[in-house]
């Protein structure tokens, strides 16, 4: 029986009157890729930020590898990595210096060989010693992905990983995520690319207006959505529209 690496237990978060996340419960097991889907403003990024400890929930808690989310705990920080949708990078460092910096903060030893391997893997080798300010969007994205796996995290939280990546790079990233998953890493993948979610996810959770409206394997979601179409887009639209219809009736 695989261990639950991530446990989101009944979390809620309000911003003024907006309930961004509402009584959310999600567990993700070792080696599992969990596709986290939902319309704009559904609460995905807020949930991921709570998981990292960057944001405190009003209610509930998050555990990663048995540790409560708290940025001041070294063990917690070492267990996970977060790839934000708009990563912040130090533009005046070179790619290599940035990885050195991140590794020092995390206390990661012997990261150099791995870093070199991934620079090669992502065809970034000739850019290792260039300043980040000269990197394209996709190059920065790849650097952030490399920086997030050097310390062998047990959980990767990823917000929109494919935006701006060319087809070859996107395939490389998908290949990497599959490899990490077979090595036992748990991945939460928040994305609007339904084809990517369908290809990679072992289970999918759909969030709408802060609430989990459906969860399961592709087959289970098709069953829950009661649509005659068997593609994720139809399932997604059906499950998120239903929520909207109910909310409109309440208004
Ligand atoms: N710092 C903040 N201050 C005020 N409101 C916020 C803040 N962060 C998020 N919200 C609100 O919380 C809700 C959920 O936002 P969130 O960014 O989690 O959505 P999302 O599912 O990631 O959307 P997207 O697909 O557009 O990235 C939205 O209504 C948003 O306006
Ligand atoms: Mg978001």
Q: Is residue 163 part of a domain?
A: yes
Q: What is the pLDDT of residue 153?
A: 96
Q: pLDDT for 161-212, tens place per residue?
A: 888 899 999 999 999 999 999 999 999 999 999 999 999 999 999 999 999 9
State the pTM of this model.
Answer: 0.93
How many Å lie between the centroid of ligand 2 and the Cα of residue 20? 11
Q: Which residues of the chain have pLDDT under 70?
A: 1, 242-251
Q: Is 194 inside any structural domain?
A: yes
Domain carrying residue 244: 4-88+154-250
pLDDT of residue 249: 47
110 in any annotated domain: no
Task: Name the residue among 152, 150, 153, 124 with its Cα closest to residue 139.
Answer: 124
Q: Is residue 213 part of a domain?
A: yes
Q: What is the pLDDT of residue 244?
A: 58
Relative orientation angle of helices 95-106 and 137-149, to the nearest 10 degrees = 30
For residue 1, what pLDDT is reported? Answer: 64
The answer as to whether 126 is a domain residue is no
Q: Kindly state whether residue 131 falls inside one of the protein's structural domains.
A: no
Evaluate: CB of 205 within 6 angstroms of ligand 1. Answer: no
Q: How many domains does the chain have?
A: 1
Whether residue 209 has its Cβ less than 6 Å from ligand 1: no
Which of 14, 18, 240 has most ligand 1 atoms within 8 Å of CB, for mutation? 18
Does residue 100 sit within a domain? no
Measured from the CB, is residue 45 less than 6 Å from ligand 1? yes
Is 208 among the domain residues? Answer: yes
What CATH number is given to the structural domain containing 208?
3.40.50.300
């Amino acid at each position: 029986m695989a261990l639950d690496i991530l446990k989101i237990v009944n979390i809620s978060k309000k911003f003024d009157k907006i309930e961004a996340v509402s009584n959310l419960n999600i567990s993700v097991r070792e080696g599992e890729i969990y596709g986290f889907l939902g319309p704009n403003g559904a609460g995905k990024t807020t949930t991921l930020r709570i998981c990292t400890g960057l944001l405190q929930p009003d209610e509930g808690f998050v555990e990663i590898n048995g540790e409560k989310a708290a940025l001041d705990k070294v063990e917690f920080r070492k267990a996970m990595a977060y790839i934000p949708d708009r990563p912040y990078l130090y533009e005046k460092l070179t790619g290599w210096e940035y990885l050195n910096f991140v590794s020092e903060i995390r206390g990661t030893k012997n990261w150099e060989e791995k870093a070199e391997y991934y620079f090669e893997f992502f065809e970034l080798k000739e850019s290792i010693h260039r300043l980040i300010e000269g990197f394209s969007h996709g190059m920065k994205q790849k650097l952030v992905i490399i920086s997030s796996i050097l310390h062998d995290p047990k959980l990767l939280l990823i917000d929109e990983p494919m935006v701006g990546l060319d087809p070859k790079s996107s395939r490389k990233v998908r290949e990497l995520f599959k490899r990490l998953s077979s090595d036992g890493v748990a991945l939460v993948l928040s994305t609007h690319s339904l084809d990517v979610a369908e290809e990679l996810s072992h289970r999918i959770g759909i969030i709408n207006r802060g609430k989990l409206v459906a969860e399961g394997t592709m087959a289970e979601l098709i069953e829950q959505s009661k649509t005659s179409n068997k593609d994720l887009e139809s399932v997604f639209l059906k499950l998120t529209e239903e929520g909207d219809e109910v909310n409109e009736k309440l208004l």
